[in-house]
Every structure is written in C-alpha cells, then in structure tokens.
Amino acid sequence: MEYILYEVKGQYAIITINREKALNALNSQVLDELNETLDNVDLNEIRALIITGAGEKSFVAGADIGEMSTLTKAEGEAFGKKGNDVFRKLETFPIPVIAAVNGFALGGGCELSMSCDIRIASENAVFGQPEVGLGITPGFGGTQRLARLIGAGMAKQMIYTARNIKADEALRVGLVNALYPMEELLPAAEKMASGIAKNAPIAVRNCKKAINDGLDAANMDDALVIEEKLFGDCFETEDQKYGMAFFLDKNKEKVKEAFKNK
C-alpha cells in the first residue's frame, strides 16, 4: 500500500494515514486503501484499533481538494459515497477504534475522527468543517456526526461559520476526550488500546454495538431492548464464566488454571 501503514502490536493495531506531503489529505486511493486495510484486520487477534496521521502537523487535512476540484455532480456523489462507506465501516467496525488526532483534522479529517469511537488529540490539533468556504457541504457525515457529538447548536456554528477550533476548545465542547503533548499522544492511545484489549472481547464488542445501535433507535424502550439482547448474548461465553468465577472464587490461581486453555 502506498498511503496506509498497518502495524500490529500484540492485540491492537495502528493504522497510519501516510501521505504527509499533502498533510494526509484523503484522495480516492487513500480511501480505497483504508477500506482494504479494514477488510484485512484479523478480528480473531486484534481487539482495538488506533488511527493516526503521519508526521507531527496533520491528522488529516480533509478530502483532497485537488481531486475534488474537477468532479462532476455524479463523480462528486460517487466520491461522497466512497468516503461515507469506509467511514461507516469504521463506525460500525466490531472492535473499538481510537483516533489519535495529531494536528489538523479538517473537513474529511474531522469527519474521519468522528467515525471513530474515541478521540484524543495533541495540543496542536485543530478541528473544523471548512466546506462551506469551498462551496460544498460536509460530505463524509459531518452534518450528522458533529451534531450528535457536540450538540446541534455548536455543530451549526462550526459548520455555518467554517471557523476552525483549537484543541482546547475541542476539549471544552466535547469533541475530544483528552489532550496530550505530541510526544505523549501515541503512547496514550496505545495504553488505552491495550487496556481495552485486556477486557473481555465479546463484552467490549457488544458494548460498542449496544451504544451505537441504541443511539440510532427510535426511543429508549427500543434502545433498552437492544441492550438486553446484547447483555444476554454475553452469557455462557468463556469470558463471562471466567470473569465471574474469578471474582467469586477465593482461589484465583485455581480459576486461572481451569480456564488456561479456553
């Protein structure tokens, strides 16, 4: 692959958008390679993903403006669909995805980060949806995900004004969970990913699905039915049997031994 690096680190993996000369802007090839990378993640081994950008200046500075500048209406729609499909794949990916936002996250870059489960950022990060300044709407889910994440009022302000916000404001409005000096960002993401990977994998996956599907449900009653089903689904798994036996049994070593090869 030309623009995507994929590094497995035990039970988690790091995807790096590697197009530093163009501030990791998303052209069709980057989107295709990201899609293929996700298809090839070994879900029997990998329990969490991190997505970041190459270098120390930019996570992703948006969709590739050069490529978009000559698109026809039909091609624009196809490009939007390509991005939407891969971002939705990420959003509904069975395992948690952490965006380690290391600089500019503009347009499609902000949208990419919002398709991830968790966003943490470097102190030099800048977020924004500058599309209306370019004569277009956000096209990779920005109008929908930003409003859901930070509320309609602040999302509308960001999108209508096309004003970028700095990391501290992104933290204040809840667009990111935490800020780190650049050199501490990836280690923090890795610590979080390995912490997630230590927990019961079926339960973690079911939590992601319950939260996502519940947020899309028509009402709280439907949402709670989704949770009930995914809660029930955890029972009779080795993870559930082990987790509860380990808590209840005074002889922890015996429990570890009994479940060693399961």
Q: Does 93 bind ligand DAK (CB under 6 A)?
A: no
80 vs 201, which CB is nearer to ligand DAK? 80
Q: Using the rule CB under 6 A, which residue among 59, 79, 87, 127 binds ligand DAK?
A: 79
Distances (CA, A) of 191 to 77, 100, 195, 200, 257: 39, 12, 6, 17, 27
Q: Which of 5, 109, 14, 6 is nearest to 65 (CA)?
A: 109
Residue 211 identity? I
52 vs 206, which CB is nearer to ligand DAK? 52
Give the distance from CA 220 to its chain's centroid.
25
Those residues with Cβ within 8 angstroms of residue 149's Cβ, 6 or more apart along the chain or in another chain: 114, 155, 174, 175
Q: Does 106 bind ligand DAK (CB under 6 A)?
A: yes
Q: Does 25 bind ligand DAK (CB under 6 A)?
A: yes
> Is 111 annotated as catalytic?
yes
Q: Does 114 bind ligand DAK (CB under 6 A)?
A: no
61 vs 197, which CB is nearer to ligand DAK? 61
Tell me the closest approach of the beta carbon of residue 76 to ligand DAK, in angstroms: 4
Q: How far apart are CA 66 and CA 87, in angstroms?
A: 21
Q: Does 3 bind ligand DAK (CB under 6 A)?
A: no
Stated as kind and residue range, the H or E segment containing 188 is: helix 182-198
Pairing verdict, β 48-53 and 104-106? unpaired
Q: Does 141 bind ligand DAK (CB under 6 A)?
A: no
Report the interface residues with ligand DAK, using CB under 6 A.
22-23, 25, 61-66, 76, 79-80, 83, 104, 106-108, 130-131, 134, 136, 138-140
